[in-house]
Chain A
Amino acid sequence: MEGNLNLTLKIWRQKNAQTAGKFETYQVSGISEDMSFLEMIDVLNNRLIEEGDDPVAFDHDCREGICGMCSMYINGRPHGPNKGVTTCQLHMRSFQDGQTITIEPWRAEAFPVIKDLVVNRSAFDRIIAAGGFISVNTGNAQDANSLPIPKDHADDAFAAAACIGCGACVAACKNASAMLFTSAKISQLALLPQGQAERAKRAEAMVAQMDEEGFGACSNTGACEAECPKGISLENIARMNREYFSAVFTSK
């Protein structure tokens, strides 16, 4: 007993992709405010193991908010109630004693559940593989400083490149749309001089792949931007739209 938070957890349990899942309710007590949300789940899991039950499976790795692996839908919001943080950086001081917390996996056709709270996000990898790169082989690239890039362009490109690929945008969107994710990469590369050569091709290919993966369209509700732990801006989606339409209407 390290702290004094007592909580009721309603957690989605699903054995594998083939079986149906359901919610299970657990009580946890003595939770410290200094724990991260995942450490609170660790406490629960340790107890489940001791009691001979199957612990809750969830994705996590770096636990410092950068790898993008953790992915819990907490009380109706991806990554929980705080702005600009991933689940692993959400701390229990953001919850009250006696609270009920509902924890669900990301829900999207393109993100099928693997087990409990673990989903398959390989669709994102395929979107990047379709065009989220600059085609330069390793070798004798020109000197880095021979290509000056205005600071504000570099800063904007960085802001877009800060995406961690966690999928909170998809989870938050009522249409399970991946536009924020896709547009962040398209934007980053469209803003840099290095990205110009493949600019049109990239926009068309990445959008096509995004649609093929089964993500929805954008309703411009702004939920993705509001829930993005890295503050990726909706401006990127607008930029992707420009990139895509100008590509479609001008390409040969």
Chain B
Amino acid sequence: MAWLSKSLNSSLGKKLLMAITGLFLVSFLVVHCGLNATVFFNDGGETFNKGAEFMAKNPFIRTMEIVLFGGLLLHILDGLRLWIDNKKKRPVAYAVVDGAANSKWYSRSMGLLGTLLLLFIIIHLKHFWYFSRLTDNLTEEHTLFHEMQAIFASPVVVVIYVLGCISLAYHLLHGFQSAFQTLGWNHPKYTPTIKCIGAAYSIIISIIFAAMPIAFHLNLIH
């Protein structure tokens, strides 16, 4: 297995790991977003709570949760490793850099966007995952839906969530198509479509996520 660790530690291998874990997280976001969007049914959280309960009890989902954390951790650690490695490759910085002339700012700022996202995820996990999985506070009277209402009452929290979603949008905007490029899927016929889907995905997912705290805060969901 020396060959595998050698390959995964090569510059290309590290990127492969980023791409695979990234796409895995992208797929998770679809599930997460789809389930949460049921709050917009405005049925007092009935559908949403059912879904949440299913997710909490289904053994497959519980297993996948571990895999998910593993994937997230790998994505973070590998990203950190790449960031540190890449920093070293230019020991003397340029005095003038006109980055905007040749690339998008968010493609150059994936580390920063990722860090913001990480901070957001920590807050987010504390708000909901910790609450629902590690405490006994979840009851029939105080469902996850109620908790959302409570949390998003605070305007500060809403702002943090919206900022988190903006970071997510830009992170995905580059990350989605970048993952395909890393996997070697660049083809004049398909790449424009991939880029298009990537952009649509990044924007739609982030808008849906951002809409939740705003809607709760404005009491549009009840």
Given a CB threshold of 8 Å, the question of whether A touches B is answered with: yes
Interface residues of A (CB under 8 A from B): 10, 12, 23, 73, 75-77, 81, 102, 104, 107-110, 172, 174-177, 179, 207-208, 210-211, 214-223, 226-227, 234-235, 237-245, 248
Q: Roughly how many angstroms separate A82 CA and B128 CA in the complex, as a whole number?
A: 51
B220 contacts chain A at the CB level, 8 A cutoff: no
CA distance A110 to B92 in the complex (A): 12
Distance in Å: Cβ of A226 to nearest Cβ of chain B: 4
B1 at the interface (CB under 8 A from A): no
Given A76-B101, A218-B11, A222-B107: A109 in contact with B94 (beta carbons within 8 A): no
Contact partners of A216 in chain B: CB under 8 A: 11, 85-86, 89-90
Residues of B at under 8 Å CB distance from A? 3, 7, 10-16, 82, 85-86, 88-99, 101-104, 107-108, 110, 174, 177-178, 181-188
Q: How many A-B residue pairs have CB under 8 A?
A: 136
Task: Decide if A109 touches B107 in the complex (CB within 8 Å).
Answer: no
Q: Once bound together, how far apart are the Cα atoms of A217 and B91, in whole Å?
A: 15
Cβ of B195 to closest chain A Cβ, rounded Å: 11
**Bound-state Cα–Cα, A172 to B89, Å:** 12
Min distance, Cβ B53 to any Cβ of chain A, angstroms: 40
Q: Which of B82, B97, B110, B188 has the most CB of A within 10 A?
A: B97
Indicate whether A238 sits within 8 Å of B186 (C-beta atoms), given known contacts A210-B11, A221-B108, A244-B12. yes
> Inside 8 A of A108's CB, which chain B residues have their CB?
89-90
Are B186 and A234 closer than 8 Å at their CB atoms? yes
Chain B residues within 8 Å of A221, by CB: 102-104, 107-108, 174
Check if B185 sits within 8 Å of A238, measured CB to CB: yes
Residues of A within 8 A of B184 (CB): 238-243, 245
